[in-house]
């Protein structure tokens, strides 16, 4: 069952001005509500606007028109500072490329988001990062360097890093794109279980309908529009 509403898009459009002065409409009339505990997948072919939508959901970009509401507040009214705080604390990001810092251990990578936090999060960063790595089954690899870990293990470190501040929404952009099918499935099950445990929402952006089938609600992005997909959830 869904909990409190976290993100809401109403009639969101996004267009960009091209060098020849024409306008390219990437997103048109997007409506989407994301609540605590939701696991939503957004599927779409390459170039359909998935990254553009993800950037808007992650408060990295703003709609050209329409409204994005974060936890009841119109996002266009958030100060840059408040938006940055939400991105750092309430949103977790997982990417296809794991983006781990080379030359830093798994533990140091997971501690990184806590370095600029205050209070308990800062002082207890080592313990919090250790616990986050234990949650993804890597409690015995704290001191491993990323290059000594398999792709699936690196993605689990990236997930531990995304979850370490207990975000309210996790945005996963092609999280299985660099993994084989079995490892990708295990990573998705882990993301689903960990966000489910925390009551946070998971939004998975993927071109892979098998990955999307693991979510509880699926949408297709096509021609800049979002359509609900009626597919039985596999989890």
Ligand X SMILES: Nc1ncnc2c1ncn2[C@@H]1O[C@H](COP(=O)(O)OP(=O)(O)OP(=O)(O)O)[C@@H](O)[C@H]1O
Q: What is d(CA 171, CA 3) in angstroms, rounded to the nearest whole number?
A: 18
3-state class of 204 per DSSP? Answer: strand
Point out which span in 41-49, 67-75, 81-89, 141-149 binds ligand X (CB under 6 A): 41-49
159 binds ligand X (CB under 6 A): no
CB of 21 to ligand X, least distance (A): 13
Range in contact with ligand X (rule: CB under 6 A) among 32-40, 46-54, 109-117, 125-133: 46-54
Q: First vs last Cα of the chain: how many Å apart?
A: 15
Q: Is 79 in the site for ligand X (CB under 6 A)?
A: no
Q: Which is nearer to ligand X, 50 or 141 (CB)?
A: 50
Residue 11 in contact with ligand X, rule: CB under 6 A: no
Rounded Cα distance between 154 and 108, Å, is 13
Q: Is 209 helix (H, G, I), strand (E, B) or coil?
A: helix
Nearer to ligand X, 63 or 146 (CB): 63
Applying CB under 6 A, among 52, 144, 155, 206 the residue interacting with ligand X is 52
**Binds ligand X by CB under 6 A, chosen from 34, 37, 42, 49:** 49
β partners of residue 45:
none
Q: Does 117 bind ligand X (CB under 6 A)?
A: no
Closer to ligand X at the Cβ: 50 or 168? 50
Among 1, 47, 116, 232, binds ligand X (CB under 6 A): 47
Distances (CA, A) of 159 to 45, 192, 227: 24, 11, 28
Query: Could you say which of 37, 42, 44, 214 contacts ligand X (CB under 6 A)?
Result: 44
Is there a contact between 107 and 142 (Cβ–Cβ < 8 Å)? yes
Asked if residue 9 lies in contact with residue 59, where contact means CB atoms within 8 angstroms, the answer is no
Choose among 3, 92, 25: nearest CA to 54: 92
24 binds ligand X (CB under 6 A): yes
**Distance of alpha carbon 38 from its chain centroid, rounded?**
12
* Residue choice 34, 48, 56, 144 for contact with ligand X (CB under 6 A): 48
The residues, any chain, with a CB within 8 Å of residue 153's CB and separated by 6 or more, are 138, 141, 144
Interface with ligand X in residues 187-216 (CB under 6 A): none
Among 16, 84, 101, 193, binds ligand X (CB under 6 A): 16
Contact segment (CB under 6 A) with ligand X among 48-56, 62-70, 82-90, 144-152 equals 48-56
Burial class (CB in 10 A: 0-12, 13-18, 19+), 211: buried
- If one asks whether residue 146 binds ligand X (CB under 6 A), the answer comes out as no
Residues of the shown chain interacting with ligand X in the complex, contacts defined by CB under 6 A: 16, 24, 26, 44, 46-52
């Amino acid at each position: 069952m869904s909990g409190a509403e976290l993100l809401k898009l109403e009639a969101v459009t996004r267009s960009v001005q091209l060098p020849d002065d024409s306008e390219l409409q990437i997103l048109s009339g997007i409506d989407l509500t994301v609540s605590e505990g939701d696991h939503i997948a957004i599927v779409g072919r390459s170039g359909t606007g998935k990254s553009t939508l993800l950037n808007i959901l992650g408060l990295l970009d703003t709609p050209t028109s329409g409204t994005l509401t974060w936890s009841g507040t119109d996002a266009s009214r958030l100060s840059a500072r408040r938006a940055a705080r939400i991105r750092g604390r309430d949103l977790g990001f997982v990417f296809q490329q794991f983006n781990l810092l080379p030359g830093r251990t798994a533990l140091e990578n997971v501690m990184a988001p806590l370095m600029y936090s205050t209070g308990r999060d800062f002082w207890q960063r080592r313990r919090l990062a250790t616990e986050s790595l234990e949650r993804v089954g890597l409690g015995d690899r704290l001191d491993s360097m990323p290059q000594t870990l398999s792709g699936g293990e690196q993605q689990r470190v990236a997930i531990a890093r995304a979850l370490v501040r207990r975000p309210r929404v996790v945005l996963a952009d092609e999280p299985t794109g660099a993994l084989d099918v079995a490892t990708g499935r295990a990573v998705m099950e882990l993301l689903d279980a960990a966000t489910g445990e925390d009551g946070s929402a998971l939004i998975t952006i993927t071109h892979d309908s098998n990955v999307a089938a693991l979510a509880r609600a699926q949408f297709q992005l096509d021609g800049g529009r979002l359509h609900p997909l009626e597919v039985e959830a596999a989890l």
